[in-house]
Amino acid sequence: MGRAGVRSQCERLGCRGKRVSGVSKPDDKTSMNSISSPLQPTAKRRARRLRLPTSRTWLAAGQWFVTLLLCAFLIVPIVMSIMAGLTVNYFKGVSSGLTLRWLSEVWTQYHGSVFLSLEVAAATLLITLLTGVPAGYVLARSKTRLSRIIEEFLVLPIALPGLASALALLVVYGGFTMFRMSVAFIVVGHVVFTLPFMVRAVAAVCASSDLRTLEEGAASLGASFFQRFITIVLPNARPGIVAGALAVLTLSIGEFNLTWMLHTPDTKTLPVGLADTYASLRIEIGSAYTILFFIMTMPLLVAMQWLGVDATGQRNAGKKRIAASRSKPTPTPTP
């Protein structure tokens, strides 16, 4: 072969090599783009994670911190008092051992005060139901200035200290010896103190519900006032009655200032006995008395949260408005 033939063969082979290399070798820029494309979302996610919390997040965290701090400030003393009533020796702490001895001693010495407190609370509740429910209904129905003045006078025992109210009762009724030495005297003081809570709870519910329209409809059908009160007023006022009753029971069992002025050695209630145990006996017995008091009042407080949260009737009114708005047909646009 001559030199011309060799050159022509080399040129052909070079062209083929270029074609093969052009097919087999990918472009560097496209390969780098294909590798970096799936990494871009992950980089964005990392950047989002590394962002600092917003001011709203810091504000919510601060609110939670303050709330938990206040809860600890209120709950820790109660827990410490309960633990003191369950330990053998308060000054040694839990390391001295746990016992129910102090609870049994408190029950042996003061079980009469427990039952007396329950009797006073039950009598107070009965009187406030018989007087407070009709009074709250009348105050809610009446729109005169006289009814507002009477309502303000009913709230006065809450504004005054319990000792002042007890002193007023002693000045007026202290001369009646049999009445002064009886449990009825303490019941009267508890009724004066707790009646506003029943009246305000019932009046708030009766004012929020449309009782006037319901009563007028029942009266047009021939129902008497007693029938309207039993079948219309009481069922609609039930949330306020329940909330007021639980508040009356809780306040009557735990009332100390007024009871301390009105009690006698034979009419010593639970809070007065608690003060005596802390003043004259060991701190373990006083703490065990606190446990007994806590056992009596805690179910009432839980019941107030479960049943008495709707005392104002605002939630029921809101629910009724929402139900009414949902039941209304939506207007169809006119063409």
DSSP states along 178-236: HHHTSHHHHHHHHHHHHHHHHHHHHHHHHHHTTHHHHHHHHHHTT--HHHHIIIIIHHH
Q: How many domains does one find in the chain?
A: 2
93 DSSP assignment = G
Q: 10 Å Cβ neighbour count for 31?
A: 10
Residue 18 has a pLDDT of: 47
Residue 312 has a pLDDT of: 43
The answer to whether residues 291 and 250 belong to one domain is yes
The answer to whether residues 152 and 196 belong to one domain is yes
For 78, 212, 244, 311, the CA distances from 305, given in Å and listed in that order, are 20, 29, 12, 10
Residue 252, in any domain of the structure? yes
CATH of the domain at 310: 1.10.3720.10
Residue 17 has a pLDDT of: 47
The answer to whether residues 78 and 152 belong to one domain is no
Identify the domain containing residue 207 by its residue range: 110-315
Residue 3, in any domain of the structure? no
Residue 22 has a pLDDT of: 46
The answer to whether residues 86 and 116 belong to one domain is no
The answer to whether residues 229 and 131 belong to one domain is yes
The answer to whether residues 134 and 211 belong to one domain is yes
The answer to whether residues 288 and 103 touch, using CB atoms and an 8 Å cutoff, is yes
The answer to whether residues 178 and 81 belong to one domain is no
The answer to whether residues 85 and 128 belong to one domain is no
- Of 316, 272, 318, 270, nearest to 121 by C-alpha is 270
Residue 268 has a pLDDT of: 85
Residue 275 has a pLDDT of: 83
SS3 98: strand
Give the span between the Cα atoms of 275 and 60, in whole angstroms.
41
Residue 241, in any domain of the structure? yes
For the whole model, what pTM was predicted? Answer: 0.69
SS3 52: coil
Q: Phi/psi at 72 (nearest 5 deg)?
A: -65, -40
Residue 303, in any domain of the structure? yes
pLDDT along the chain (335 residues), means of 10: 54 50 49 51 59 81 92 89 85 83 85 88 94 90 83 83 87 87 91 91 83 81 85 86 88 88 86 80 81 82 66 47 53 52
The answer to whether residues 116 and 185 belong to one domain is yes
The answer to whether residues 78 and 201 belong to one domain is no
